[in-house]
Every structure is written in structure tokens, then in C-alpha cells.
Amino acid sequence: MPPLLEVDDLHMHFFTRDGVVKAVDGVSFTLEHGQTLGVVGESGSGKSVTALSIMRLIPEPPGKVVKGDIRFKGESILAMSEREQRGLRGNRIAMIFQDPMTSLNPVHRVGRQIAEPLRLHKDMDRKAAWAAAVELLAEVGIPQARERARGYPHEFSGGMRQRAMIAMALACGPDILIADEPTTALDVTIQAQILELMQEIQQRTKSAIILITHDLGVVADMADNILVMYGGKAVEFGAADDVFYRPLHPYTWGLLESLPRHDVDDKGALSPIKGQPPSLINLPPGCSFAPRCAYATRSCGDEQAGLVEMEPGHFSSCRFAGDAGFLAQFENRSSYLSDYAQRDSQ
């Protein structure tokens, strides 16, 4: 059986007056029912554009898929007609956004907005859709759902709005829920509530989740698999534990090392990644991380192969990822690795 979702060497470029912006320049991953994929990377790494490409929400032009494919249950989304795509969007694949204030319509009642996908995709009449919307609001933990459905977005707090967004996304029982920084605008105690709600829903509905975030803590909490992106490219993909404890790309490793440690008393200087993120217009040829990479050699500027499976289910785009000497450099310095090794030996 084909995977639920397969993104295969996707290249989404934007053709602007200033040049070609290679926002997504080689991204591959697969996703199955009940799985959560965490997509991490810095701003401008192409996380959101990947998500919007799956939703077919990138206006073309200026955007254009110049290479690669996106397949939903084996069928190419890119080859579908506009009409077929609409049948997927909001129905089989739904999305929630970072800022629940700007993604809800301020002049419509919340209940009506949640009922809208049901009327569109499930042919419900106004009354049935409203009743279903009230039920959905109750399901995502909004108290007094019957009254709140009649309220407007400005009457909801940030956390409640995000709950309403989730209710809307869940309305049609989607196979895939794409969450683009769903908790970034929220306080930690509210973030904990929303993450708990998403986990609860996933257990109940077995839907797959693509969780885009820059917060490695959130990924550690939620993800089964992790896709690490840098400069529009997928640089590492694998099971969460593998990516955290045995990173196979210097960028992933640098990202983990630059975090303040949460569990040791030694507060020595942090180890940031040097330099600045690349401009997507003038991406260097070859590995886009090479200019900031402590291990780069001259050959890193050559054409790269993209993600290569280094060990079962664990992919890296670094050409040295399989090099024993190179990996040893990580092991000597990474405290994450030493923790992991200790656990293994016990």
C-alpha cells in the first residue's frame, strides 16, 4: 500500500523580480496514519512553504513546482484538477496556523466558521452543521460550547481561539492535520493544554499530524519522526530518538548544542552556530550549510545528492554522515550523545 502522504524531492521556487527564490529546494519524507512528523528549522528554511505546497495554497505564479511530486495515498496532488484539490483541502488534509487571531474571520460567529467546511464538504444543511460545530467546540474543550459558538473571535482568548481553529480543522475528520507553529503565539501553560489536546485527538482519530515548529522541546514532546530543514533543503529525516541522540547532520547537531541545557548546573557559554542563515536567492551551490559548518571541506561546495539513507529509516544529506571519523567528532563533544550512550550501556 502506498504511504498516506509522500513528498518526493519537492522543489518549490518563487520567480520574483529580484531572482529565483528557492524556498523549497529538495524535500522528501513520508507520513503514515497515526504518526506525528515534526518539521524543524529556522525561519526561512522552507517549513511553511512545504506545508502550503501540500495544501496547494501557494499562488502560481509566482510559485512553481519545478521538480518533484506530492502524493496522497499514492495519487499525485499536483496532477489533480482544481476541483479535486478542493475536495482534499480542509476535508482530507486540514491546516491550523500560528496566529489564531488573523486566521479566524472577525466578522463571523465562531460557530458559523466551524460549520463552513461541513456545509462545503459534507453537504450538511445549516442546522445540522451548526449542531455539529457546537459538538466540535465541546470536544476541543471549550466550556459552554452552545453559547460560545454564537460568540465572535475577539471574545475568545488566544488559547480558546486556537482550540476553535483546531475544531474547524477537525470538522471533516481529516487524514492529515498540518499544524504550522500552532503554539508559538501562546503562553507555556496554554501551549501545554493545546499540545495535550492534539495528542488526545490523534489517539482518538488516528489522524496523522505534521507539526511545524522551531521549538525543539515541542518536537521532543510530540514527534515520532523529525524532518530537519535548512536553506530550503531537507538535511535530516528519521525517528525522533535517532535525530535527537544520534544526529547525522552537523546542522542538527549544532542546533541541539546551541540550546541552553536544562538539566546541568554548569552554565558555561553556549555553543551557537556561527554566521547567519543564507539568503534563499543566492544559495551557495552544494550544501547550503557549508558556509556555517565547522566540518565543511572544499568538496561540500560540489553538487549534493540530497537525502541519503545512512541507516534504516535515518536519512542525512551530509556527505560525511557515514564517515566514522566524522561521527567521532560529534561523539566527543555532544553531551546528548554521552547521555544516550550511558543509557545504552546500563
CB nearer another protein, residue 6 or residue 215 = 215
CB nearer another protein, residue 63 or residue 159 = 159
User: What does R_g of the chain's alpha carbons equal in angstroms?
Assistant: 21
d(CA 183, CA 195): 8
Half-sphere exposure at residue 276, Cβ-oriented, CA atoms within 13 angstroms: 4
Asked if 14 and 21 touch (Cβ cutoff 8 Å), the reply is yes
Cβ within 8 Å of residue 288, ≥6 positions away: 25, 230, 231, 232, 233, 278
CB nearer another protein, residue 172 or residue 296 = 296
Amino acid symbol at 47: K
CB nearer another protein, residue 173 or residue 272 = 272
**Cis amide leading into 61 (omega within 30):** yes
Shortest distance in whole angstroms from residue 37 CB to another protein: 14
CB nearer another protein, residue 170 or residue 273 = 273
Shortest distance in whole angstroms from residue 108 CB to another protein: 23
Asked if 110 and 152 touch (Cβ cutoff 8 Å), the reply is yes
Shortest distance in whole angstroms from residue 55 CB to another protein: 24
Shortest distance in whole angstroms from residue 77 CB to another protein: 30
Shortest distance in whole angstroms from residue 124 CB to another protein: 31
CB nearer another protein, residue 2 or residue 275 = 275
Shortest distance in whole angstroms from residue 16 CB to another protein: 16
CB nearer another protein, residue 122 or residue 214 = 214
Shortest distance in whole angstroms from residue 244 CB to another protein: 5
Amino acid symbol at 96: I
Among residues 256, 170, 193, the alpha carbon closest in space to that of 219 is found at: 256
3-class SS at 60?
Answer: coil
Cβ within 8 Å of residue 20, ≥6 positions away: 13, 14, 281
Q: C-alpha grid cell for residue 64?
A: 512553481
d(CA 196, CA 202): 10
Q: Which residues contact another protein (rule: CB under 8 A)?
A: 42-43, 157, 159-160, 187-193, 195-196, 214-221, 223, 240-241, 244-245, 254-256, 258-265, 267, 269-274, 276-277, 336, 339, 343
